[in-house]
Structure 1
C-alpha cells in the first residue's frame, strides 16, 4: 500500500507489457488494462503473477472503462500516482485508402481512450494534489515520412501531442505533470521479421528501438517533477528531419 501505483492501458502485449514489467521492477504497483481478460491473464503469467499487479478488461473507447480501471486501482492500492496512456495501434496506408471504419477505430482507441482515461486520472490527481500523466504518441506525428504513409495516425497522434501541452498548462497548478513519449519503430511482435531491413533504414541510427528504451523514457517522465508539456522523441533520430 505504501508503493506508488501506475495505471497502464494496453498492457497485455508489446510496449504495454514491457512498461508493466519496468514499473514492477522499479517498485510500483501496476494496474494494467486491455480489451481481453485472457490477454491480461497471459500478461500476468509472463510477469510471474506478482501480488502488486492486477488486470482490468475493457475497451478504452468506452468512458466507463476508465472509471472501472481507477476504481479497481484505488480499491486495491489506495491511490494512483501515474497514468500511462499506451493503448493504441498504428495503421499506415495511402490516405485515399482509409475507410470510415478505419477512422472510427483510430479515433476510438488512439484518441477517445486517451481523453477518457486522462479525465478520470486528472480528477483523481487533482483531489490528491499530485500526479503524472504520460501519453504514448508516435515519432511520425512529429516528422511524417514518405516511406510510411500514415496521414490519419499523424492527425490523431499529433492531436495527442498538442493536448499534452494544453493539459500540462491546465493541470500545473495542481502539481500534475503531463508529458508524451513519441516512439519511433520499436521491436515488438506487430512487425514482420522479414521487414527488419526496411525498418532499420527508417532512422539515422540504422536500427529499430527496444521496448526497454521506451520504458526508460516513460519511467523518467513518471518521476520528473520539473518536466511538463514535453513530447520526447525516442526514435533513433527518425523525427529530426529528412536525412
Structure 2
C-alpha cells in the first residue's frame, strides 16, 4: 500500500508543479519580435540574443525593411527566422483582399531578395484578423500566427514588473510563444523598456527552468496558429 501511494504521488507531481504555481521545468520559450527592423532597437536585440545564444523569429514590416535593408540582412546573418508582418502595418481587417495580397507579396519578396529566406509565417498587426482574411493568407501558403504572452504593457515601463507579469501569464502554458517589439512603425512607441527588460527576462526564464526553442521547429509556432 505504501509503495502504491508513493507511485501515485510521483505520477501527479508534474500536475502539481504546473497547477500549483511553480514554473514548468523543461519547457522551451520561443521569442518573436514584431514591427522592425529599426536602427535604434534591432541591433540591441540582436546583441542580447547573440550573447545568450538564442534564436528568434522576427516578423518584419515591409516599409521598414525598405528603409533598413542592412538590418534585415543582419537579422538573417545571426541565424534568425524571418516572417511577414504586412508592408504598412495596417489593420488587415480594413484591407481588401487585393491590398492584403499585395502587402504580403511585397514584403515576402523583399525578405527573399535581401536574405534568400522564403517566409512561411505571417502575423497580423496587433493580432487583428477575420475569417475571410485568414482564408486568403492560407490560400497564399502562409501560416498565420499569434502569441501566448506579450512582454510590453501599456503604462508600465519598469523591467522588473514587466518580466514578473509576463512570467505569471505564461507559467501554465507549455512551450510558450512570447511577443516582443523591436520597432515602431507608428512612431509613438518607445521601446526602451523592452530593451532594458530583455536581458532580465532571459535570466529569469533560465532561473525558472525554461530553455529556448529553435524557431525552425515548426511545431512551436503551430501552437499559436490562427
Q: Which one has a bigger Cα radius of gyration?
A: 2
The structure showing larger relative contact order (alpha-carbon pairs under 8 Å, at least 6 residues apart) is 2
Question: How does the TM-score come out when normalised to structure 2?
Answer: 0.36
Question: How does the TM-score come out when normalised to structure 1?
Answer: 0.34
